[in-house]
Structure 1
Amino acid sequence: MYGEAKSGSRASWKAWLRSGLALVLLLQLSLGTWANQAQAADAAAETTTKETAVVASAPTREQVGQAVTSLQTLLSKSNPIGDWDAFGLARSGKDVSSRYLPEANKSVDSGKLRLVTDYARVALAINANGGDASKVGAGKVNLLSKIANFEKLTAQGINAPAFALLALDAAGYQPGAKDTWSRDNLIKWLVDHRNTDGGWSLGTGKSDVDITGMVLTALAPYKDNKDVTGTIDEAIVWLSNAQRDTGGFGNPTESSESSAQVLIALTSLGINPVDDSRFVKNGKSTLARLLEYRLKDGQFSHVAAGKADAMATFNALLGLTAVERWMDGLPSLYSGVNSATKTNVTVNGISGILATGSVTGKTALEALVNVLNGSNVTYAVERDPKYGPLLISVADLENDKFGVYDGWLYAVKRDGAWVTIGEGMSSFALQAGDELSVYYGSMETALIHSVKLEPAALREGQPAIVKVEKETFDWDSGKLIVSAAEGAQVKVGGQTVTTDKDGKAELKAPKAGSYSLTVDGYRSDAVPTYLSWTSNIQVASYFKKALVRIEGDAGVLASGYAQGGTALEAIEQLLKANGVKYEVVDSKYGKYIESIGGITAKKYGGYDGWLFAVVRDGSWVIPGEGVGTFLLEDGDEVVVYYGDATKLVDPVVITPAQPKPGKAFTVTVTNRAWNWTDNKFDPAQPVVGATVSIGGITVTTNDKGQATLKALPEGLYSLQVIGYEKDKAPSVVRSVTSLPIVGSYKDQSKIAAWAVDAVNISRGAPLLLGINDGKELFQPQQAVTRAEFVAALARGLGLKRTSNVPFKDVSSEAWYAKDVGAAVAAGLVSGVSKDSFAPDATLTREQAAILLTRALKLKATTTTKLVDAEQISASAVAAVQAVIEQGWMTPYVGKFSPKATLSREQAAVIAVRVMSANK
């Protein structure tokens, strides 16, 4: 969470950046000045490796960077690559891990590591290259534990505990309860073995610059420890006094390696290596002096005006890398890499993302620099003497571009929430799982608190509301303020919508697929109002099967099953399949149907036009949205009708509920008007004057909405209610009800309640009658035979009956013969062998699924989890999944019961479903 500027002065601006906003300031690196100087030096110098380059008294970041780049090129050529080279290259930003880590494994596996400094050296190099020093080689050797438990650790002298401490700290070693050496032990040993003059040396007597620099580097993380502070202060005094008039170090002879070690120590302690007065002699700093050892080819000499030296060149890489990291505000050379922790970093400019990646980094600034370097995006850091490292530009985008206290800011999301930050990027310590966002902004730029989708799971064809909230931090009250994010730009699937005052934006539903949903506040020639927010979303494919009826002003224009995600998609599919012309208009209010089959809105000069409603679970649904956005569910009946004040008929009431053959019955027609004010249906009212017809009989409803119908013979009838009017829109939407008028079986009471309607329809159709195709006994729980089931399927599909049956066990006189013949002729079924059909054989449920799948050519696209899935035969798995997915057969409490026989009442239900789908 960013801070807040308190005044307009340059000084206060810097304070604001440091304390609250922790700016990341990045700049295109310009190497022109240093390159020109180098060219001038080359022209004036002799062509010999002894010549040094010309160096300014206060070397710049660009000069140091060029020297490091040259050293990287030189040292990365070594093959195989050594431990120290691998360490220095990795810490300078040159990735050699793929080459080095296998060599490190071989080195450990060889068993040649003997000294504690051997373990420390390899551990430091492995860690710097992103490896795990606690699991090295085939044996998963823990080098850190080896160091902490090295019995004769101090036998080598002062450098052993110093490097041991460096290695343990770099890898973040977690000490064991029984370790021989703890960090406190190592620190105390180093403090206790300081020479009386203030420095350290391998032996007794006068202190040594290189060893003193090494120990100071190891003790640097503990400089605020009361037992260490004084020791470090005195050692710095000694080191300052040991500096030569040339600005360099070394005794008895000055060397570049000594200067490099001092630079590592100074930067580790946070001391300015360029102009700290304690380490500038005759106007020349240690850094300036070290660069004087640089030869024309980029290598370094051991002594002034000397030849190229491998040790000097390597140490120069370490010393200059330490300085470069200090200039960039990064953790010190030996600070280490937490290879187990990666941070997702995104860098946003004023119009989009500049870089992104997942990297390691102990501080926010280190993670940022690693991402920018990996993306080849240039940057610059300014070390302010008062406020510390300030990153001043990214990819040529510098602070104060718009003159409104704008600049590079950063924010960190931890555990799903933005962290309140009161420090700079160079000191902000990252934790596992952190998300770092670096962005160009100002006090006006707000963070996105939340982005919510309504509905949460997007589906194709369904519009969505995106609700965006922003958050700001009131530094005076110390409270987080969350409010609607007005004016944010929401982008997905090629569309951009701006949030309203409530932070809401309505999106048109994109096609099914994966999308990036972005919320940002980018503006033309202005600071962004919001930090860009991005997330991946999925839009599910959405197709449902529905029965669609198109009712004109005088009759049916089309009817049948269709698929679609929205009502309009299913309607259009049906109309196209039936060759019916239509016109859909896309207005600012959404899509609507203008005409169908030549019938155009306002045909009668009023408010008449094409309307739609849906029957779902037996009840009317009056959509509060357009036909183009209304989402379907499987089993819906979409009724498109031409009307004005046209009434939708409730399910008619039949009295008695199950009419018997030869008996009159009454039909009651009612309507419930939709109350838009209360958003519910009004109480049912009788529909007067509607025309009710069935079996050639037509009656008009009276003032009670009733019509009495004369007796009809047994059969399955279509009961129709209409209200067509002359020269006006219909008064009633046509309603059709399937009505079986049938007698009862002697065992009617044994039929399960869920199967009664299907058994009655099956009798009236007829599809599956009683035993031996009769009307006496139905035997609902008896296993259905192959003959009964195939005959019911053939009748349900309306196949033309034939007496041509190719099976010896099917008599031409059998009641099912012509139906089986029809099924065989249509290629829907076959026998159990060439000559045998096995008509009396009973069917298991999985066998019925196979027959049904073959007959209807079904295929499964999804998998339903079943408790008894393992009981299904391998040959029946696909068929079982298909009949379940498409609703032909139904599991019970998660079980399909594949080996159980299919009962006759179950077969009746399936037959009715087949007939209904075949209409």
Structure 2
Amino acid sequence: MRALLSSVLALVVLLQGALGAFAGSAHAEEAAGVAPTRAQVTEALGQLQGLLGKPSEPANDWIAFGLARSGKPIADRYMKVAEQSVTDGSLRLVTDFARVALAVNASGGDATSIGEGHSNLPAKIANFEKMTAQGPNAPAYALIALDATGYEPGAGATWTRDKLIKWLVDNRNADGGWSLAPGKSDVDVTGIVLTALAPYQDRADVRGIVDAALTWLSAAQRSTGGFGNPTESSESSVQVLVALTSLGIDPIKDTRFQKNGVSALARLLEFRQADGRFAHAVDGKADAMSTFYALLGLTAVDRWQDGLPGLYAGLGATGKASVVVNGLSGTIASGSVNGKTALEALVNVVKSSGTPYTITRHPQFGPYPTMVGGVENASLGGYDGWQFAVKRDGAWVTIVEGMGTFQLKAGDQMYVYYGDIGTQLIHSVTIDPVKPRENQPVTVRVDKETYDWDTGKVIVGPAAKATVKIGDQVAVTGDNGVTTFTLKAQGELTTSVTGYASGKAPTYLAWESKIQVDAYEMRVSVRVEGDAGAIASGSAKGGTALEAVETMLKAAGVQYDVKTLSFGKYIDSIAGVAGAKYGGYDGWYYAVHRDGWWVYPTVGVDAFMLEDGDEILVYYGGDATKLAEPIAINPSQPLPGQDFAVKVTNFPWSWTNGYDTTQPLGQPLAGVTVTVGTSTAVTDAKGKATFKGLKEGLYAIQATGYAKDAAPNVVRAVAPLAVTGHYVDEKNVAQWAQSGVRIARASGVMRGIGDSADASFKPKQAVTRAEFVSALVRTLGLKAEAGATAFTDVPAKAWYAGDVAAAVKAGLASGVSKTKFAPDATLTREQAAVLLTRALKLKADGTVALKDAKQVSAGAVDSVQAVIANGWMTANAGSFSPKAVLTREEAAVIASRIVIANRVK
């Protein structure tokens, strides 16, 4: 159907020269006189908009309505006026309610809920008892308002549309027109009624009535081309122009409404004064009412010339739709606008952007654009022209009607584009990964869609030879609709898919979106294990595994060498140990521990993209070298003096299939040397090594599989072992903090209340300054200072006195004054962050988005960012809770993290 419509459209374009100009009726013939040009109407209307839109001009209902309908709303001023008039009860007549309802909806408001009492103006109209007291005016304006606002009267309403129409039909004069009182018809009243009946002119009970009224109206036109009785006035010409355009009658070329070659529009312009205002009489002076009436008349004509329905049509709230106008090589205009129909939305966008355009009315296909931005239909000599497509709720709408009748909905995305039968729609653009990062390979898949009119189904397939642009990088899709990028820039980048071709209609309707490309720099830990011992470890940042490894090695002062082959880069030597040292396929390998599993990469170390929290293990090994999975301890929490066993296992890995699920996970590793403190044992066939009980303390378990004159059988693995007793309130410790509390106690950095292992731990109690400072001093291995301190509130015999003195000496902490330390004062989380930053010499590196960032004190912002970035403290669900007190279990977890980082390597 789209192809058919395109063909018909092109045919119309080719036949335009033969068809010539036409009107919306059988009476459309050229008159002898010179008709007003589109430019003249535009100039006159623009001048009125400028004059009446000034802040000094009154924001009355008709001026607000006219300005809104002509594209220059003053809603910011008018809505306050409307609300006041509704609230203060100044509206009494049907025409009052109708006038305000029209102006409110035209200005973007809602006439069904306005003012302090949320008055429903259309409902008041539909239930107005004395509707006919004003003659035909009230029923006519009532019908106009109900239609314009889209209000549906309830079954019990006093006045329905049918009742209003019947009253108007039954109460016409014998001559075919209408007047306020029975008798001789009046031009103004007849024009108003015809405007009201326009939407119903094809009804059998209305058609003949409208024709008769038009016959009378034509006869009532003066020889000057104007209207009015007993004297001619500009306002009468306006009412006729509004009626004609509402009925779809050409106000310029219809010969029924030309006298001596002068149309009602031409005559109206003769009332125009030098300053752009209009007079009541042709030889009179500028008049305020005549001027805003002229605004209504010229707006009605302007809408007619744009192919749009009458002045009052389509005021129901629709919400905004986005509109993009694409030409032969790019976007011509775009914007978010109101528009009842697709054509109205297009007109609003091109007008607001100052883009030239031409709308043509076809007697069969209705109004459609024949030129936009200087590009005319059939400019390529084929079935090419301006078309449109609409995406609603993420899917393209099947369109079987023209722009002039297609109804838009709020949130629609409309594309007006120059194309031909072969121009296709983009169904989807898939970017993998969804959140790309700088220097990361990205795959873009583009699919097109076509509609099969025989089956009624949408056919989706690859969009071949589509031009994809991300930022300033360009690529073209293959036959499979896929192309790849390595993004070189970060930030928000425009991503587009086009099918523009020189001298041809575009292959695809242009698609555009935004993507956020983040700096690809993850914070990870790196460990380098040689063939006979550990070489280096530490934290680092990088986008690829190689970047992070190089950063760590440089910081540690370890020499290394990286070489490049056809498949990428690889590490050839570290600390003087080069590949093939043992004459086989031995060398430097790497693996990544992520989410509790070892990842054995299938790409080079320079191509593996990292994620935050990864652990990179670079090790010297061979084909048979295995990685120990997390070391298991039984019992998992041995008490002082309690014997325990260590089990070392490996999850079998297949380079073809990944983890070998055909074999039991956790296969035992025999012959592994396990060291705990000063004790050593070798794993048996079940991968188990047993140990005698140890004193309370924190130990490092080390499992190695070094081999003589060969690469290791098992890469060295380490794990902490906390041998501790129990606190009586241990059950109150949160699960996430249990390991931290045990490690803090075992290492001696933080114990129960009063620094006693036998006391209760009180996990939920707020930590004191003395407790936290002492924990920091001990984690850093500082020696407690003997003797009295300078603080009067720190007794020399207090358990924390030596630690406080050491902290002050090292510059880690200070008193709240020269003589006071406030050892028992509690700490907030942001205060703890400041102390941590000072003790560990941390620096803010980047910014982590926090939901409660505004709650962080100015002096603590960098510290909070630093502790989060380095992993010492965390944000829960995006919130740091800076003013909350730090609990003892939270302090223990922080201390345990530092201890493990410094002591278990």
Give the TM bin, normalised by the shorter chain. 0.7 to 0.9
Question: 2:284 aligned with 1:338, yes or no?
Answer: no
**How big is the shift at 1:381?**
0.9
Cα distance between partner residues in 2 of 1:281 and 1:13: 32
1:826 paired to 2:805: no
1:559 shift after superposition: 1.4
In structure 1, the residue corresponding to 2:358 is in which secondary structure? Answer: strand
Aligned to 1:803: 786
1:160 partner SS: helix
Structure 1 residues 519-575: Cα deviation after superposition (integer angstroms, max 9, x where no partner): 333344432232233344455677654321234577655311234565345334423
Shift of 1:196: 1.9
Aligned residue identity for 2:42: G
| 1:673 and 1:681 in contact (8 A); partners too | yes
What amino acid is the match of 1:160? A
Q: Does 1:389 align with 2:373?
A: no
Report the counterpart of residue 464 of structure 2 in structure 1. Answer: 486
Question: Partner residue of 2:39?
Answer: 62
Letter in 2 for 1:396: G
Match 1:368 to one of 336, 340, 346: 346
Q: 1:271 to 1:477 in 2, by over 3 A?
A: farther
Aligned counterparts of 1:705 and 1:477: Cα–Cα separation in 2? 65
Partner of 1:263: 241
Once the two structures are aligned, what percentage of the paired residues are identical? 52
Specify the alignment match of 1:917 in structure 2.
901
1:475 and 2:453 are equivalent in the alignment: yes
Equivalents in 2 of 1:809, 1:118: separation in Å? Answer: 81
Query: Which range is displaced more, 753-762 or 533-542?
Result: 753-762
The gaps in structure 1 that reach 5 residues or longer are 17-53, 866-874
Could you say if the C-alpha distance between residues 812 and 847 of structure 1 is closer, same or farther in structure 2, counting changes exceeding 3 Å? farther
Distance 1:123 1:766 in 2: 79
**Which one is further off, 809-818 or 98-107?**
809-818
CA contact (8 A) 2:538 2:552 kept: yes
Q: CA 1:442 to 1:814, structure 2 compared with 1: closer, same or farther past 3 Å? A: same
- SS of residue matched to 1:412: strand
Q: Does 1:676 align with 2:655?
A: yes
**Aligned residue in 2 for 1:207:** 185
Change (3 A) 1:177 1:876: farther
TM-score, scaled relative to structure 2? 0.77
8 Å contact kept, 2:257–2:264 = yes
Residues 55 and 292 in structure 1, CA contact (< 8 A), matched pair in contact too:
no
Give the distance between the partners of 2:115 and 2:886, measured in 1 at CA: 60
Q: CA deviation at 1:693?
A: 7.7
Equivalence for 2:332 = 354
Aligned partner letter, 2:599: V
> Which residue number in structure 1 is paired with residue 21 of structure 2?
none
Aligned residue type for 2:779: G
Does the CA-based 8 Å contact 1:273-1:323 persist in structure 2?
yes
Name which of structure 1's ranges 672-681 and 582-591 shifts more when overlaid on structure 2: 582-591
Compared CA separation, residues 81 and 641, structure 1 to 2 (3 A): same
The letter for the 2-side match of 1:233 is D
Task: Give CA-to-partner distance per residue, 1:27-81, whole Å, 9 cap, x none.
Answer: xxxxxxxxxxxxxxxxxxxxxxxxxxx9954444334334433444555567335
**Partner-residue secondary structure (3-state), 1:918:** helix
State the partner residue of 2:131.
153
Question: 1:165-180 to 2 correspondence within 5 Å?
Answer: 165-175=143-153, 179-180=157-158
Checking the alignment, whether the CA contact within 8 Å between 1:344 and 1:436 is kept in structure 2 is yes
How far the C-alpha of 1:879 sits from its partner, in A, is 11
Relative distance call for 1:4 and 1:482 in structure 2 (3 A) is: farther
| Matched position secondary structure for 2:538 | strand
Cα RMSD, aligned residues only: 5.6
CA contact (8 A) 1:863 1:881 kept: no
Range that drifts further, 708-717 or 564-573? 708-717
CA separation in 2, counterparts of 1:198 and 1:355?
47
Distance in 2 separating the partners of 1:663 and 1:124: 88
Could you say what secondary structure the match of 1:164 adopts?
helix
Kept in 2, the 8 Å contact 1:649–1:669? The answer is no
**Separation in structure 2 between the aligned mates of residue 572 and residue 670 of structure 1, nearest angstrom:** 30
2:414 aligns to what SS in structure 1?
strand
Q: Distance in 1 between matches of 2:357 and 2:745?
A: 84
Q: Displacement of 1:712 after TM fit?
A: 12
**Per-residue deviation, residues 707-765 of structure 1 (Å, max 9, x unmatched):** 99999997845636364887x9x4557414257697x8699999999999879977886
Distance of aligned partners of 1:502 and 1:604 in 2 relative to their CA distance in 1, 3 Å threshold: farther
Relative CO higher for 1 or 2, CA cutoff 8 Å, sep ≥ 6?
Answer: 1
**Contact kept in structure 2, 1:359 and 1:367, CA below 8 Å:** yes
The CA deviation at 1:96 is 4.0
Partner Cα distance (1:255, 1:662) in 2:
112
Q: Is the 8 Å Cα contact of residues 609 and 643 (structure 1) preserved in structure 2?
A: yes
In the superposition, relative to structure 1, how do residues 98 and 862 fare at CA in structure 2: closer, same or farther (>3 Å)?
A: closer
1:737 corresponds to: 718
| 1:26 paired residue number | none
Letter in 2 for 1:359: V
Deviations 1:658-701 (A, max 9, x none): 999999999987766631221224868888998888889999x8
User: Alpha-carbon deviation of 1:207?
Assistant: 2.6
TM-superposed deviation, 1:502: 4.0
Could you say if the C-alpha distance between residues 567 and 121 of structure 1 is closer, same or farther in structure 2, counting changes exceeding 3 Å?
same
Change (3 A) 1:380 1:645: same
Partner of 2:702: 719
Instruction: Give, in angstroms, the shift of residue 483 of structure 1.
Output: 2.4
1:231 Cα deviation from its structure 2 partner: 1.4
Tell me, yes or no, if the aligned pair for 1:4 and 1:475 is still in contact at 8 Å.
no
Distance verdict in 2 for CA 1:810–1:449, change over 3 Å? same
Of 486, 500, 522, the residue aligned with 1:522 is: 500
Unaligned runs of 5+ in 2: 17-30, 853-858
Q: 1:198 aligns with which of 176, 200, 225?
A: 176
- One-letter code aligned to 1:915: V
Q: Structure 2 vs 1, CA of residues 205 and 588 (structure 1 numbering), >3 Å: closer, same or farther?
A: farther
Contact 1:346 1:436 in 2 (8 A): yes
Deviation at 1:604, TM superposition (A): 9.2
Matching residue of 1:11: 11
1:164 to 142, 148, 153: 142
Change (3 A) 1:320 1:435: same
CA distance in 1, matches of 2:459, 2:821: 78
Amino acid at match of 1:914: I
Mapping 1:581-592, distance limit 5 Å: none
**Residue 441 in structure 1 maps to residue 419 in structure 2:** yes
2:395 is matched with which residue? 417
Measured after TM superposition, the shift of residue 616 of structure 1 is 3.7
Does 142-151 or 363-372 show the bigger shift? 142-151
- Displacement of 1:377: 1.8
* Higher mean displacement: 159-168 or 104-113: 104-113
CA drift of 1:486 comes to: 3.3
Task: For residue 239 of structure 1, give the secondary structure of its aligned residue in structure 2.
Answer: helix
Q: Which residue identity lines up with residue 374 of structure 1 in the other structure?
A: S
Mapped to 2, the partners of 1:661 and 1:264 lie a distance apart of: 98
Distance in 2 (CA, whole Å) between partners of 1:707 and 1:202 is: 107
TM alignment of 1:785-796, pairs within 5 A? 793-796=776-779
Question: Aligned pair in 2 of structure 1 residues 908, 246: CA closer, same or farther (>3 Å)?
Answer: closer
Instruction: Tell me if the contact between 1:694 and 1:717 (Cα under 8 Å) persists in the aligned partners.
Output: yes
Distance 1:98 1:654 in 2: 71
CA contact (8 A) 2:14 2:378 kept: no
Q: CA deviation at 1:394?
A: 1.5
Instruction: State the 1:473 CA deviation.
Output: 1.4
User: Shift of residue 329 of structure 1?
Assistant: 0.7
Q: Structure 1 residues 317 and 899, CA, compared in 2 at 3 Å: closer, same or farther? A: closer
Deviation by residue 1:799-830 (Cα, 9 ceiling, x = unmatched): 23443452899998999876665445334467
